[in-house]
Amino acid sequence: MASNRSPLIVMRDTRAWQFQVWASFGVAVFLCATGLAYLPGQALDRAFMVMGYVFCLSTVFVLSKAVRDSHQAALSGVPETPMWRLVVWGGFAVAMGLTGWGLLRMEINDTYRAYLGVSW
């Protein structure tokens, strides 16, 4: 008996799109690192901000993978665990909250604060 379902078509990103994504990511990381390296203030504040930015970056990667996996799980009918969602979204919230708190409490010029806020 023949199936009426059409074959699943998987579209891949083009090489140009992949290059643009990786190039913009590299430029963004470079500019954030440059801004943090030349940030005036105490070394402890700079170290806190570097840790915060790395923590935020890593949680964004985990969050994007979790969202993609959640979508694929919904399509396949295999649910993800609620605890995994709590870990992913909780880690993201903690990273963003602590980095925002550190940025607000730093004693720096508002221009630097705005630059770091946009970079974050």
| Domain range list for the chain | 42-119
Is 120 within 8 Å of 53 (Cβ atoms)? yes
| Res 119: pLDDT | 77
| Res 4: pLDDT | 62
* Apex 42 CA angle, 39 and 43, nearest 5: 80
Q: What is the pLDDT along the chain (120 residues), one digit of tens a residue?
A: 555 666 666 677 788 988 998 999 899 888 888 888 888 878 888 888 888 888 888 888 888 888 888 887 777 777 777 888 888 889 889 988 988 888 888 888 888 888 888 877
| Res 23: pLDDT | 93
